Structure 1
């Protein structure tokens, strides 16, 4: 197969036909042809030669040239494709027959007075090759490979921009429960765990799905679809509700139990528009369109509110809420409901509270009014018993302290005396006696804790470390942390506690110093101070190191999840 005048135009015609079929640029196909012809020519002239092919974009004429580059003498390795400036002087002159040129920085050299320079390229034409059967087949494979790569790149760029949107397609086939979908210029996959319930599809069925991810892989771009992703429902509402599309109403959060029930929180930035009513539509037309697409999934549309408690009350609908107690540090919330509302608040198999938790991003504990009353009574009794035993008080006086809001001995010992005097029946002498007894008990506990810590092997470096009480040192020593070096290796969440997510469920990690109400920030400061004292961290970089530590600890916590 020689490149003759008879088939020169066929190159351009073939390039245009392939480009049109694969929907890529003709230039890419022509470049693939040039590359394949150059490889074939190397098999004829020698693999060490730098053979280049240029196809004229108008005539289709293929020009074969041999290139040699000027290099430093010590860098000369390939004598077939390189030569030194001294060797190049013989050829450094204008071409008389137009079959050779000199290039410098990609431009044709016109001034030959200065002699050849390193980096100059000498190109001279060589006779076209006559491709044998093997060479022709190899050239064809190169072209097909390059065209295939260009087609994959085009598909990836096209569908990458469509990630996070809804796409329509036609079912082609089913493979091991996964649905292969024709999406126009490519194929996508809907995995069986991304289908709603027990959906089944037949070839040529039309399907609508959410483009969850687009990945570039060796076998081509992989497009992953989903019908269970919460954002699929959000995008459906965006299609059905013009106010959401226009940005007047915003979807703040979505939680789904695919095929069963979902909750969506919305907010309106126009006081004249009711966000819930707009999403429901006239006679429920808008929400019913979404429900129909989601196989009858029940949808609760909830007004979003910045206040966690108010938002949670809305999210737990249709259950009624009596009281909400929010623990901001633990990102946890307790909800008290009437006894008869408990099953409604929890929902079937915990569905209602689970969706509300996903929607608000909070851990939710639901208690009945009776359970809360029992718990409060138990706390009252335990604190009363503490004051009776530690301060040698009668039951009435101990209950009086608890009723006034005192929860532990530290509050009694170190509170301003005026707060004790505000209690009926307490004079200055009684207040002084109460505080003296509380301090004596605390000092005795401190001495006992210090002796216990030393007995466990705690070293003075840890005992004398500012910020740690003897009780804290005792708790650390019981866990094997006995030196300042041991303490400096701790992560802040190991000391103050934290939360990790395992299999979608948030779990509490108990901190060693959590019983002493040490916050995450305080634990971080203590650990960094210890590292500075040990010379592990430069004090000048303490601020930046603290931020890095926070990021590292966050990564550790995620890794544990």
Structure 2
């Protein structure tokens, strides 16, 4: 763009603005505004930087006017004598002057020197580039989640720069499919997963490894997905190798898996071809977490699922001969299943599960024998009935114990009396140990701290409320530290209690409240919801569990008799 003289042909100026606007695909007014700013800067360089000089170009006729402005201000408010005039001085020349009145003087056109021309060119170039970047960002920020077609412009250190027509995207090495190589001028399809505003311009982040890329490809191949009849609930990918996709049909008459596979696999094969032969498992999504997890681990067979909702972990039991299939090559099957469901999946075999249950059964039996002073048959029977601790037995309803076959009310009362005596003795011993360790009574006043916890804290050197309040969650739960260049496990004070992160944080927060360091947070009570009949509406909770009953047989023994 030429700036040798601002008195150039007016139509030529508009033609230049038009050409730049078309080339950069930005609004013509932005180009004209940048020219105005460039000439304004040059004029201030000529007349003085303190002058308030403004430039206006008529967008229709191209006529340019250069004006100098002087504003009337209060007598004590003059900061720039070139752009401001005091009210008293203004009144000497103009009887109608008032604070805020502006005097405008038209300046004559002038020729730009070499330095001023260069400066004007830089201003226009900078403003046009900024407008172009803003246009690209505004255009692509709402296209996140779409598939776009482009041409490879260049490849830099494994990163592919893609020409998208009205913008430029980048596909980093980790977002491409392994063993997939692109050359300059190759056509490419990619998924926009992010658009970032950065100083060097908008960064349009592309991917062919993202789960959304596969989901969008299926939406293009399967009309039912595009129409919303079939919904893709989640996707997990090991790019270039294998993928799992969970689908749900909103129409009971349509099989979502069959629709995605297509006649003789035509639909899924079209997606596989685009993904360089990636194997795709399409599974039925289920609202029941256990069923969904079983489906996600296909083709392995699952015999039992145990959910731990607090830790978002699930333990899956498979037949011994199915272990390698469930885990998959290099853990691929279980890893993809975990990503698909959002649960941390632990897989064990039936023999491992049986061995562990037998060990737990023996440990609980021994506990009841010692705590209640009963024979092995009665202890085993209590474990079989679902009692896992002495506390369970001591404070359960008496009728639940009396209902056990071979027991009566007298037996139930005696068992509960022995259980409570044991707990009292154990509490007294633990309290004595707590005092011996020097743990203050105030620690027990912290909400959530039990007597066994107080003993464990004392053994770890935590003896006051302030000591507890000063801990971090890792110091309670245990964590890892770097020692000598190695990652070493450091045990926590309450590691044996398997506290979750929220529980540990709550314990420390309560200690800080008790210590007076902070105020207790205010908890807003939720108003109960009422049905039309006026009763509290409570959600229905359904729990399913696989229970294998252990049977205890003893010939000629009276299971209701207690060992004296």
- Could you say which TM-score interval applies, normalised by the shorter chain? 0.7 to 0.9
Output aligned runs, 1:367-378, within 5 Å: 367-378=348-359
3-state SS in 2 of match to 1:259: coil
Query: Given the alignment of the two structures, is residue 116 of structure 1 paired with residue 119 of structure 2, yes or no?
Result: no
Tell me the alpha carbon deviations over residues 408-456 of structure 1, each in whole angstroms, 9 at most, x when there is no partner: 1112222222222223443444433333332232222212222222233
Unpaired stretches in structure 1, ≥5 consecutive residues: 94-111, 499-507, 547-561
Query: Given the alignment of the two structures, is residue 158 of structure 1 paired with residue 139 of structure 2, yes or no?
Result: yes
Q: How many residues align?
A: 514
Instruction: Name the structure 2 match of 1:41.
Output: 43
Instruction: Name the structure 1 match of 2:328.
Output: 347
Q: Report if the CA contact (8 A) 1:528-1:542 is conserved.
A: no
Q: Report if the CA contact (8 A) 1:92-1:116 is conserved.
A: no
Q: Report if the CA contact (8 A) 2:447-2:510 is conserved.
A: no
Tell me the alpha carbon deviations over residues 323-377 of structure 1, each in whole angstroms, 9 at most, x when there is no partner: 2222222222122222222222111111111111111111112222222111111
Instruction: Assess, with a 3 A threshold, how the Cα gap between structure 1 residues 354 and 116 changes in structure 2: closer, same or farther.
Output: same
Q: 2:5 aligns with which of 2, 7, 10?
A: 2
Q: Report if the CA contact (8 A) 2:74-2:99 is conserved.
A: no
Counterpart Cα distance in 2 of 1:75 and 1:479: 69
Tell me the alpha carbon deviations over residues 90-111 of structure 1, each in whole angstroms, 9 at most, x when there is no partner: 5658xxxxxxxxxxxxxxxxxx
Instruction: Name the structure 2 match of 1:31.
Output: 33
Deviation at 1:179, TM superposition (A): 1.2
Instruction: Name the structure 2 match of 1:247.
Output: 228
Instruction: Name the structure 1 match of 2:276.
Output: 295
CA RMSD of aligned residues (A): 2.8
Q: 1:60 aligns with which of 62, 70, 75?
A: 62
Q: Report if the CA contact (8 A) 1:255-1:264 is conserved.
A: yes
Instruction: Name the structure 1 match of 2:523.
Output: 543
Counterpart Cα distance in 2 of 1:57 and 1:410: 87
Q: TM-score, normalised by structure 1?
A: 0.85
Tell me the alpha carbon deviations over residues 38-62 of structure 1, each in whole angstroms, 9 at most, x when there is no partner: 1111111011111111112233222
Counterpart Cα distance in 1 of 2:84 and 2:362: 94
Counterpart Cα distance in 2 of 1:327 and 1:130: 80
Counterpart Cα distance in 1 of 2:78 and 2:437: 73
Query: Given the alignment of the two structures, is residue 411 of structure 1 paired with residue 418 of structure 2, yes or no?
Result: no
3-state SS in 1 of match to 2:197: strand
Counterpart Cα distance in 2 of 1:127 and 1:376: 97
Query: Given the alignment of the two structures, is residue 397 of structure 1 paired with residue 378 of structure 2, yes or no?
Result: yes
3-state SS in 2 of match to 1:220: coil
Counterpart Cα distance in 1 of 2:385 and 2:376: 14
Counterpart Cα distance in 2 of 1:486 and 1:519: 20
Tell me the alpha carbon deviations over residues 149-171 of structure 1, each in whole angstroms, 9 at most, x when there is no partner: 11111111112122221111111
Residue range with higher mean Cα deviation, 150-159 or 408-417: 408-417
Tell me the alpha carbon deviations over residues 159-187 of structure 1, each in whole angstroms, 9 at most, x when there is no partner: 21222211111112211111111111222
Instruction: Assess, with a 3 A threshold, how the Cα gap between structure 1 residues 73 and 286 changes in structure 2: closer, same or farther.
Output: farther
Q: TM-score, normalised by structure 2?
A: 0.84
Residue range with higher mean Cα deviation, 151-160 or 464-473: 464-473
Residue range with higher mean Cα deviation, 31-40 or 486-495: 486-495
Instruction: Name the structure 2 match of 1:147.
Output: 128
Q: Per residue, is there more helix in 1 or in 2?
A: 1
Unpaired stretches in structure 2, ≥5 consecutive residues: 480-488, 527-564
Instruction: Assess, with a 3 A threshold, how the Cα gap between structure 1 residues 359 and 452 changes in structure 2: closer, same or farther.
Output: same
Counterpart Cα distance in 2 of 1:496 and 1:451: 25
3-state SS in 1 of match to 2:523: helix
Counterpart Cα distance in 2 of 1:157 and 1:457: 65
Q: 2:248 aligns with which of 267, 271, 280?
A: 267
Instruction: Assess, with a 3 A threshold, how the Cα gap between structure 1 residues 327 and 132 changes in structure 2: closer, same or farther.
Output: same
Tell me the alpha carbon deviations over residues 449-472 of structure 1, each in whole angstroms, 9 at most, x when there is no partner: 222222333112113446533212
Deviation at 1:321, TM superposition (A): 1.5
Instruction: Assess, with a 3 A threshold, how the Cα gap between structure 1 residues 467 and 350 changes in structure 2: closer, same or farther.
Output: closer
Instruction: Name the structure 2 match of 1:197.
Output: 178
Counterpart Cα distance in 2 of 1:476 and 1:403: 34
Q: Report if the CA contact (8 A) 1:188-1:224 is conserved.
A: yes
Instruction: Assess, with a 3 A threshold, how the Cα gap between structure 1 residues 439 and 15 changes in structure 2: closer, same or farther.
Output: same
Instruction: Assess, with a 3 A threshold, how the Cα gap between structure 1 residues 125 and 184 changes in structure 2: closer, same or farther.
Output: same
